[in-house]
Copies of this chain bind each other. A is one copy, B any other.
Amino acid sequence: MSHYQAPVRDIQFVIHELLNSETHYQSLSNCEQPGQELIDDILVNGAKFAEQVVAPLNQSGDEEGCRFEGGDVQTPAGFKQAFAQYAEAGWLGLSLPEQYGGQNLPGSCAMMMGEMTGSANHAWSMYGGLSQAPVTCLLTAGSEEQKNTYLPHLISGRWGGTMCLTEAHCGSDVGLIRTKAKSNDDGSYSLSGTKIFISGGEHDLTENIIHAVLARVEGAPSGTKGISLFIVPKFHSDENGNLTERNAVHCGSIEKKMGLKGSATCVMNFDGATGYLVGEENSGLEVMFKIMNSARIGTALQGVSMGENSFQGALNYARERTQMRALTGPANPDGEADPIIEHPDVRRMLLTQKALNEGSRALIYWLAQLVDQSKYGNEENARAADDLLSLLTPIAKAFCTEVGVEVTNLGIQVLGGHGYIRDNGQEQIARDARIATLYEGTTGIQALDLLGRKVMGSQGTLLRNFTKRIHKFCEAAGNNEAMKPFIEPLRTLNKQWGELTMAIGSKAMSDPNEVGAASVDYTMFSGYVALAYMWAQMAQLAQQKIAEGVEAPEFYQAKLATAEFYFQRLLPRADSHSKAAEASGKAMMALSQDAFAFL
């Protein structure tokens, strides 16, 4: 049985109190402007759905996995019904245009449901997530006709979707794509090639599947400049949306994976499949990057989803399991031992989970608001949001998924040997969470994007833009004595961020490898600073609420204690990442390939 309970109170704290949803939504135009009541309605109904419909299928979905037979994929029992309910309730179209059946809410409103379904059942949530890929492609660059043909059915959940990018020889290096597109007389193209790692490439949840496919038109330039984007439906359809003939795209097999077993990861064969160009020829990557940026925030969120579920499992266990006496004497004198939550090291693990989860949640929900601003804000806000997103998206994707791996591993550790047993659920969460540092661009790819493209590529402008913001916050909050334990270290690290960047930049002038050598440690450093900024804001808010004499101050006191824990016990890691990033990469690069092992 699933233990998951949606953290409604904490999400409300982040959205309404920390991020002032009211003010935020009022500043947007060309979309619905939800008030607090609507947000809370979405949240509470979403919570119910995640807890009652989706979570119960999580463990059984892992046990059963997907089955591949004769080209068809059967998803685990219950997945199809849950998806139908989800689609029926309109969740797929929450933040999509009304004219195609959506509800035209800003994207941040869909974030909450993304978190909750991700916690409740990561594998199941992949199907709905992936159907957003062709939607985003079409909204970005599709023709009116294409939009009208596909969007209503994708948004209603009658049809599903995928993103077909990776090939066997081509993962991070998109420029190597070989799938070919040959133009036909009727304006369509014939696609041939094989894609791998296609989530939801084939399944039984929907009557049709719309693939967004990257391919190379015959005669196109080599590398990234010759890649085009196509829509390839599994079934063609007539003007009423009725399915007609089967297209020549088929699932060749599904992968056996470490986790995420209820999500079908497919090899997709395109054997002269008919595809429809989206946008211009050779402009496919541009569109893809749009999708990638939102997918990266979505993946960062999976770190929190998995972390939250793992934390709840560990916390339940720590409250119930009795073992040994508290170091200060019996806390449960009538029992033969004390609940292990009384042991300081168990608290250290739980608070590490809690501090990383809640800090990451705050960061990601803020990014979701920035995405709203980028899309629906006035020009000035939109530009500012874009700049922040450029910098913070790779940080969030890399950092939140890496700490997601740590947090879910701690979720096993709290249970001791019992954490290793499948029935207890914690090991599944860790296996499922492990994918998040790998897909949508590995941590290494995010780090190169951050340090190489964003920070160095903007001559530091994008970074200064953010460090100035942190600086201002420190200036404003720094006079408050109670805030000093947060402001002082944040101020120091914020300054150090600039210095570290300069130091790497100057090394990189003589050796470009220094950027790569420093990149992941630099990214993790950045993540710890970004989370410190979020935690300092949350601490400030908690202090204010407590000072105001809010009713039931326990929530805010716990927030404050968690902020303290983060600053005292986790933030020191920033310094070790900074030192590692500063170190020269020369010796590392000088080693010959043969010298890595003498076997």
Q: Footprint of B on A, CB under 8 Å?
A: 5-10, 166, 169-173, 176, 197, 255-260, 311-312, 315, 319, 322-324, 326-328, 336-337, 339, 341, 343-351, 354, 405, 409, 412-413, 416-423, 427, 430-431, 434-435, 437-439, 442-444, 447-448, 511-517, 519-521, 554-555, 557-558, 561, 564-565, 568-570, 572-576, 579-580, 583-585, 587-599
Q: Are the C-beta atoms of A431 and B258 separated by less than 8 Å?
A: yes
Question: Which B residues lie within 8 Å of A572 (CB)?
Answer: 575-576, 579-580
Question: Which B residues lie within 8 Å of A423 (CB)?
Answer: 256
**Do A337 and B413 form a contact, CB below 8 Å, given A354-B596, A561-B590, A599-B9?**
no
A521 to B583, CA, bound (A): 24
Q: Are the C-beta atoms of A413 and B443 separated by less than 8 Å?
A: yes
Kindly provide the distance from the CB of A486 to the nearest chain B CB, expressed in whole angstroms: 13
Q: Are the C-beta atoms of B595 and A554 separated by less than 8 Å?
A: yes
Q: Are the C-beta atoms of B413 and A341 separated by less than 8 Å?
A: no
Q: Are the C-beta atoms of B417 and A434 separated by less than 8 Å?
A: no
Q: Could you list 19 A-B pairs, sorted by A, with CB under 8 Å? A: A6-B599, A169-B322, A171-B418, A172-B324, A173-B337, A257-B420, A258-B412, A258-B422, A258-B430, A327-B512, A327-B515, A344-B519, A344-B585, A345-B520, A348-B521, A413-B443, A416-B442, A420-B435, A561-B587
Question: Which B residues lie within 8 Å of A557 (CB)?
Answer: 595
Question: Which B residues lie within 8 Å of A350 (CB)?
Answer: 596
Question: Which B residues lie within 8 Å of A517 (CB)?
Answer: 344-345, 347-348
Kindly provide the distance from the CB of A317 to the nearest chain B CB, expressed in whole angstroms: 12
Kindly provide the distance from the CB of A525 to the nearest chain B CB, expressed in whole angstroms: 11
Q: Are the C-beta atoms of A327 and B513 separated by less than 8 Å?
A: yes
B173, B341, B580, B599: the one contacting A596 at CB < 8 Å is: B341
Kindly provide the distance from the CB of A163 to the nearest chain B CB, expressed in whole angstroms: 13
Q: Are the C-beta atoms of A312 and B576 separated by less than 8 Å?
A: no
A45 to B169, CA, bound (A): 38
Q: Are the C-beta atoms of A312 and B588 separated by less than 8 Å?
A: no
Q: Are the C-beta atoms of B596 and A416 separated by less than 8 Å?
A: no
B326, B420, B570: the one contacting A438 at CB < 8 Å is: B420
Which of A327, A337, A579 has the most chain B CB within a 10 Å cutoff?
A327
Residue of B nearest to A4 (CB): B599
Q: Are the C-beta atoms of B565 and A588 separated by less than 8 Å?
A: yes
A439 to B255, CA, bound (A): 31
Residue of B nearest to A580 (CB): B569
Question: Which B residues lie within 8 Å of A197 (CB)?
Answer: 417
Q: Are the C-beta atoms of A588 and B172 separated by less than 8 Å?
A: no
A469 to B128, CA, bound (A): 60
Q: Are the C-beta atoms of B315 and A597 separated by less than 8 Å?
A: yes
Question: Which B residues lie within 8 Å of A327 (CB)?
Answer: 512-513, 515-516
Question: Which B residues lie within 8 Å of A514 (CB)?
Answer: 344
With A257-B427, A572-B575 given, name 8 new contacts (CB 8 A).
A6-B599, A9-B599, A257-B421, A319-B593, A327-B512, A343-B444, A413-B442, A573-B573
Question: Which B residues lie within 8 Å of A593 (CB)?
Answer: 319, 339, 341
Q: Are the C-beta atoms of A344 and B568 separated by less than 8 Å?
A: no
**Do A176 and B576 form a contact, CB below 8 Å, given A344-B588, A516-B344, A591-B561?**
no
Which of A260, A418, A597 has the most chain B CB within a 10 Å cutoff?
A597
Which of A171, A417, A427, A570 has the most chain B CB within a 10 Å cutoff?
A417
Residue of B nearest to A597 (CB): B315
**Do A351 and B588 form a contact, CB below 8 Å, given A345-B519, A593-B341?**
yes
Q: Are the C-beta atoms of B422 and A434 separated by less than 8 Å?
A: no
Q: Are the C-beta atoms of A336 and B419 separated by less than 8 Å?
A: no
Question: Which B residues lie within 8 Å of A583 (CB)?
Answer: 568-569
Residue of B nearest to A172 (CB): B323
Kindly provide the distance from the CB of A78 to the nearest chain B CB, expressed in whole angstroms: 20
Question: Which B residues lie within 8 Å of A519 (CB)?
Answer: 344-345
B328, B513, B520, B521: the one contacting A512 at CB < 8 Å is: B328
**Do A166 and B345 form a contact, CB below 8 Å, given A324-B173, A568-B580?**
no
Q: Are the C-beta atoms of B437 and A417 separated by less than 8 Å?
A: no
Question: Which B residues lie within 8 Å of A405 (CB)?
Answer: 409
Q: Are the C-beta atoms of A344 and B416 separated by less than 8 Å?
A: no
Residue of B nearest to A354 (CB): B596
Which of A311, A422, A595 has the most chain B CB within a 10 Å cutoff?
A595
